[in-house]
Chains A and B, each alone.
Chain A
């Protein structure tokens, strides 16, 4: 009796193993495909899927959701890292590279990015990532009918804000500014634009480990911000209300309900503005104003592709992504800015994105999003790091705290956060 029983058990075990293998194969789709983890979701995810559909091999795109860092750390622990990941911050690329998680990557011959960007993705002289998507973060949006004359420089912006605020308080007109202060990155984008203008030379130093967060440049930038933010009536519903306003709601306040005139936002603001546009009037943009007319340095953000160590087919896919024509489907659909200067301006869909792409190619004026380069938790997320500190500063200056006091508090917190994240003096 025994042997048959055992044989049957073995058959069962085999069947179970085969079933599990089939299930695993089913998940990855037969022959092995290259797995890519991305931060995008919804329409951006669909666009990226269209992009990789043009890749000769099979590609599986996984959306890692809001916190791709946590996702990848957990996957690494479990030994199931994807082959390729698109990371939203260059800080993550160097961090992973130093931990030995990444494999060096190659770029195709058609890959060229503005000076200063490529270095952000290298560690110990090796290239560990390539830029695949860029964001233009130095824009102010408004409806043409609400603001006939665009402020040329920072002082003009302050004056215009004061006039509009006084008007709003007297006859209940629209507030001068909408701001999604509930999302910390909105405030860091403001800060970076001002900082790059008041101290273009010191900007990049703040991303380095020995950064001085209590020095003159940071204090000057915060002081300039405080001057504008503390104007009575500057924001829809006041400062406390602005801190509960998310970025997308602030866009609606400008393009739909017209309760505010201007909004500082990146090029992707168009994605929100489109569905909420009322009537034929589309919002237009001008450059974030600086000391000189024409604005200060341009702040850009971006997403970088990396290949994990012992990935299969990862390096090849990353190389393919750097070709000038890989992102054509997304360029045609709109809502995409390429970091690659070999992508012809003509391939952008409309005049606005063509102008933005041109601006990004102007030499020596680019600064990369500072908060995205900061180490560890300092880089910020909801309730954490520089996001939280800038929200505290915003709350202070809109609540009547003296600028000097608010700056003292903010720089103290910034320095402490930098230290505990392993940087700063």
Chain B
């Protein structure tokens, strides 16, 4: 059976694979205001949560169509990202539609994130 050190090694190796892609993306979180008000809650702005390491999976359009996403990427397990957040990658906006915590022998190695492209003016 695996020791805690070996589980830690699995997490470190997976993180290294993601960092080796040398890609980063900015995460924006829509801030909701107006809850309880007459007009109801609405997204007034977006707060930047910073830049994080990301690894975009190279998939063909057919594969993406089969998955039902515009992009799939990996992020480090401790990345603060939620469904509905916006990922800015190479000037393109993506909405996070699904987050899966990949688990290996009890260790969360990374997050697999499905993205939907958002065609909105992106200010770099």
Judge: A and B partners, yes or no: no
Residues of B bordering A, CB below 8 Å: none
Residues of A bordering B, CB below 8 Å: none
